[in-house]
Amino acid sequence: MSNLLFDHINKFTKVSEEDFATILSFFEPLSLKKKDNILEEGQLCRKNFFVVNGCLRLFFVKEKGVEQTTQFAIENWWITDNLSFLEQRKSSFSIQAIEKSEVLAISYEAQEKMLSQFPLMERYFRKVYEKAFAASQLRIKYINDYSREEMYVYFAKVQPAFLQRVPQYMLASYLGFTPEYLSEIKKKYLVKP
């Protein structure tokens, strides 16, 4: 479980195995069942989650009870409600396991202690957040610039694993359209002319 995090950290900065053993002590391993919620809207987001195995989503509930998925996280991705976590205030989102998942969770307090003890982890998190922010900027551009069909085609091209792992209604929510419309688009691309 810990090897994935070790390898991920070393993609962005260099950490020794000895230091990593101490870094890992700040984390708590969690095993999640499908549909387990590890954060509920309105709660304080106390942890940041690194996905070792499985798939999670960040979502909120709109008026009329419709769920709006805003982020997915698979292996080697981080997920949290950043504003709630960083400012230690009530969350506007929920986080749910889409499938059976293994995560490494770090509390706000533990993360602050770890960053103080291991400044190289500041670089690691900066790089992770830079990549996440850039991806978020692109998503906003595509939402405003692409047709719905182009959005699906782009998503299928850059994140094909999600098409098999994520229920259609969640994928439709993330892409900003109805499950019925997503079904129509998928049929169009499954049928060869």
pLDDT band per the 50, 70, 90 thresholds, residue 188: confident
- Residue 1: pLDDT over 70: no
Mean pLDDT, all residues of the chain: 91
Q: Where are the domains of the chain?
A: 2-117
**Burial of 105 from C-beta contacts in 10 A (0-12 / 13-18 / 19+):** middle
pLDDT the model gives residue 142:
85
Q: Which CATH superfamily is domain 2-117 in?
A: Jelly Rolls (2.60.120.10)
Report the predicted TM-score, pTM, of the whole model to 2 decimal places: 0.91
Q: Please provide the distance, in angstroms rounded to a whole number, between the alpha carbons at the two ends of the chain.
A: 45
The DSSP secondary-structure symbol of 44 reads B
How many CA atoms lie within 13 Å of 121's alpha carbon, on the beta-carbon side? 18
Query: Distance between CA atoms of 17 and 37, rounded to whole angstroms?
Result: 32
User: pLDDT confidence of 190, banded at 50, 70, 90?
Assistant: low
State pLDDT tens for residues 114-126: 999 999 999 999 9
